[in-house]
Structure 1
Amino acid sequence: MDRILKVLFFGLFIKPIVFIVLGLNLRGRDKLPKKGPAILVANHNSHLDTIVLMSLYPLSMIHKVRPVAAADYFLGQGGLLAWLSLKCIGIVPMDRSGKAGRNALFSDCHKALDNGDILILFPEGSRGEPEQMSKLKKGIFFLLNDREHIKVTPVMMHGLGRSLPKGEALLVPFNCDVIIGDALAVTKKSEEFMLSINDSLSELSQHCITRHHVEV
């Protein structure tokens, strides 16, 4: 039932918004992992980030693509937001209270990866200022400890922070970039691994048309 809800939600509502209302400059779509376990890592400026990334996949695969999201924000109040998050988007809830140990913190992520899912992670943590990257957190490194076989695909997005900024509820159509890079290998050293993600996102940002337009 959840799979059907997710297909209907994206097929009838989300995909038309993403591909008709938003103008996407999409590059490297063929580099998306075709099956899991796999991870997409992306910068994070807007709630649109998640649904845009998920919309890049065909409806036949949409149930296997799952964003890792803050449990306190999306599930804490219950109600419609929690229902949509679990049933229509299929989030993997993450406890960011600081009370959970590392094993418990990543347990649901490990279950999803073991199930062959494709996870969406935002290493910055929470949404930052529109079109500005914050320092990357090391959670993804600890998640992938002893899982070196899992590839990490970087994605740089630009413009979505203007279409739906943090704290806003009204969608404003802007042209947006989604640039997908080559998969990265997991390394044994956290600093080396995080630097490779940061460098890849920075390189991909050079291909963002909207970024250069704003700078000019």
Structure 2
Amino acid sequence: MEQKIHNILRWFFYGVVVRPILLLILGFNARHMERLKPRGAHLIAANHNSHLDAMVLMSLFKLCDLPKVKVVAAKDYFCRTPLMAWFSINVIGVIPIDRQGGADNPIQPVIDALEEGYTVIIFPEGSRGDPEQQAPLKYGVTKVLEAHPDVQITPVYMHGLGKALPRGEALLVPFVCEINIGEPITWHGDRAKLIDSLAASFAHLKSEMEVKPWQ
């Protein structure tokens, strides 16, 4: 019963609150939406420039699919208070990750979520970078795939959110978000090769957008 209430709240939050705001204030254009769908245990890897990233990606899914999707986010930001932690975990769909080194294995919650059959959205750069600038990818995603070698990872490149709500800002600025969804990548047991493949996919997806220098 409690889970049903959480699901209803999540549907309401994304369907009535998040999506209208995104469409009316920001607007976004997503390519290859057919590649973005829950497939059971699956990873979706996106570049990271804004706290909006998590909610924008979640809002791309059909409302009926939202209970099957979770998104990795910083525990120190999304769980600052007990109320915010409850809302983030049960309504937004956050998997809180400890970035302060307090957990023995900070990625274990991601491994557990995949074990339970969730589609999990992750940000391989770790923390948010400068607006529209991609930081080097970290190897945490490869540790997740080592625990679940049969899980594929779908790359997603986003542009615009870093200027709509950049790091350190609280005021939302109208700025169209471009989203490009790539083909799934298969893990073959080589950490460096996986990171190279993911970085190359991000670069290709960005090139397809034809982003102008001033955007």
TM-score where L is the length of structure 1: 0.92
- For the 8 Å contact 1:92–1:108, the answer to whether it is kept is yes
TM-superposed CA distance for 1:151, in Å, is 0.9
| 1:57-72 alignment runs, 5 A limit | 57-72=61-76
TM-superposed CA distance for 1:134, in Å, is 0.5
Is 2:53 the partner of 1:52? no
Amino acid at match of 1:182: E
Give, in whole Å, the separation in 2 of the partners of 1:146 and 1:127.
25
> Which residue of structure 2 aligns with residue 136 of structure 1?
137
- For the 8 Å contact 1:18–1:55, the answer to whether it is kept is no
TM-score where L is the length of structure 2: 0.92
> Which residue of structure 2 aligns with residue 214 of structure 1?
214
- For the 8 Å contact 1:38–1:113, the answer to whether it is kept is yes
Give, in whole Å, the separation in 1 of the partners of 2:192 and 2:146.
13
- For the 8 Å contact 1:92–1:109, the answer to whether it is kept is yes
Amino acid at match of 2:124: P
Amino acid at match of 1:49: D
> Which residue of structure 1 aligns with residue 185 of structure 2?
184
Match of 1:85 among 84, 88, 104: 88
Match of 2:9 among 5, 8, 21: 5
- For the 8 Å contact 2:129–2:135, the answer to whether it is kept is yes
Amino acid at match of 1:124: E
Is 2:31 the partner of 1:27? yes
> Which residue of structure 2 aligns with residue 147 of structure 1?
148
Amino acid at match of 2:212: H
Give, in whole Å, the separation in 1 of the partners of 2:139 and 2:37.
22
TM-superposed CA distance for 1:121, in Å, is 0.4
Question: RMSD in angstroms over aligned alpha carbons?
Answer: 1.5
Amino acid at match of 1:136: L
- For the 8 Å contact 2:111–2:148, the answer to whether it is kept is no
TM-superposed CA distance for 1:65, in Å, is 1.3
With 106-115 and 39-48 compared, the bigger mean Cα shift is at 106-115
TM-superposed CA distance for 1:80, in Å, is 4.1
4+ residue runs of structure 1 moved beyond 6 angstroms? none
Amino acid at match of 2:135: S
Amino acid at match of 2:187: V
TM-superposed CA distance for 1:39, in Å, is 0.7
Give, in whole Å, the separation in 2 of the partners of 1:101 and 1:81.
24
Matched position secondary structure for 2:63: coil
Alignment deviations for residues 96-155 of structure 1 (CA, whole Å, 9 cap, x no partner): 2224333xx232212211221111100111111000000111000001104221110000
TM-superposed CA distance for 1:79, in Å, is 4.4
Instruction: State the identity as a percent.
Output: 41
- Structure 2: give runs of 5+ residues left out of the alignment: none
- For the 8 Å contact 1:130–1:165, the answer to whether it is kept is yes
Give, in whole Å, the separation in 1 of the partners of 2:13 and 2:42.
23
